[in-house]
Amino acid sequence: MRILLGLLIGGSLGAFIGYKGQCATGTCPLTSNPYIGGVYGALIGALLSAPFAARENASTTASLSKESSQMVTETHSANIVNLGSEAAFTTNVLQASKPVLVDLWAPWCGPCRAQAPVLERLAGQLGDAARIVKVNVDQFPRIASELGVQGIPTLVIFRDGKESERFVGLQTYETLKEALGA
């Protein structure tokens, strides 16, 4: 947004200088005509505003990441397991006697944050019929790689330690409930 603002302000100032200022030889790019002055002004404005835009985006991303990770860990119900180690994946997923829905997510992922309330609702309805295991792909990239995850959120249903169904992207409550047979 700041870069666009820099383009607009710089272009306007350059065009104004090009319109009002007249170079005696006509070779000065800023004062030869308003069109060339506008182009040069827009470029200068974008270059000057780019560092500020990058700094703003970095701080916004960091705050969103912090908020989303707090949101996810604070709202877990008893039927949602937040994976703590790679060994826990074997215990909670591959050796589970009931169906397991594995949510491969990341705190910076907007659709992942949108999927979290759906999973909370589903966990409340499942009771002991199934379990939900959340795997942060930033913390456990090897698990994500072994499962062939190419986009997140990826939701994988395991039955008897084997993958039975896979969903990529934001899914509805009804779709997941039907897939788990609940």
Q: List pLDDT tens digits, range 123-178.
A: 999 888 999 999 999 999 999 999 999 999 999 999 999 999 999 999 999 999 99
Closest-CA residue to 4 (of 36, 37, 69, 52): 52
Q: Kindly name the residue from 93, 112, 123, 152 that is annotated as catalytic.
A: 112
Q: Which residues contact 73 (CB under 8 A, 6 or more apart)?
A: 82
Q: Is 109 a catalytic residue?
A: yes
- The residue extents of the domains of the chain are 2-68, 75-180
Q: Kindly name the residue from 30, 83, 101, 109 that is annotated as catalytic.
A: 109
How far apart, in whole angstroms, are the C-alpha atoms of residue 138 and residue 165?
23
Bridge partners (DSSP) of residue 163 are 158
* Superfamily classification of domain 75-180: Glutaredoxin (3.40.30.10)
Q: Is 28 a catalytic residue?
A: no
User: pTM for the full model?
Assistant: 0.58
Angstrom distances, CA of residue 72 to CA of 93, 158, 173: 20, 22, 17
